[in-house]
Amino acid sequence: MEYIEIIKELVGMDDSIIIVGSGGLLLSGYDVVPKDIDIVVKDTKVLETFLEIKNFGTNGYFSKTNKRGYTTYKGYVIDIFIDEEVLDTDTKDIDGVKITYRTIDGLMKFFWDTQKRAKKKIIRREIRKKMYVLHNLLNKK
């Protein structure tokens, strides 16, 4: 099943989902091939009625609350991050489904703030690699 169709199905389960990561980049029009689906929700109550969420509550540097989980759905790993708000978002209507996603500017700001918060050098290095990739995408467009 096509990546965007899966996102539409997920948003159909919980319309408060915000697509982040490579899915947000794809929705922004960048030429990326997402390997998974990264989403942000305020809580997982609605999603848990449709999906079994695993390892919920493990530490995750990519969430200000350090709460996250994951599940699989139709062949994709869905990384779930729990946060109250996501800044710098946009909305796209695809076949009548309104999909909210984090913009590339929002993703860059998020990584900048996250790498400042990260206590481990290896995590900061991984985040900087992601920022480098984003920088190169911005320069291509």
CATH number at residue 46: 3.30.460
Gap between the Cα atoms of 82 and 62, Å rounded: 10
**Using one digit for the tens of pLDDT, what is the confidence trace for 29-64?**
999 999 999 999 988 889 989 999 887 666 556 666
pTM for the model stands at 0.88
Gap between the Cα atoms of 36 and 31, Å rounded: 15
Average pLDDT for residues 9-14, to the nearest whole number?
94
Q: What angle do CA 52, 56, 58 make, to 5 degrees?
A: 150
**pLDDT value at residue 58:** 61
The CA dihedral of 23, 24, 30, 32, to the nearest 10 degrees, is -20
**pLDDT value at residue 91:** 96
**pLDDT value at residue 56:** 67
- Is 43 contained in some domain? yes
Q: Is the pLDDT of residue 1 over 60?
A: no
Q: How confident is the model at residue 19 (pLDDT cuts 50, 70, 90)?
A: very high
Gap between the Cα atoms of 93 and 75, Å rounded: 24
- The SS3 assignment for 6 reads helix
- Structural domain range at position 26: 3-102
In the chain, the number of structural domains is 1
Gap between the Cα atoms of 102 and 105, Å rounded: 8
- Is 89 contained in some domain? yes
- Is 78 contained in some domain? yes
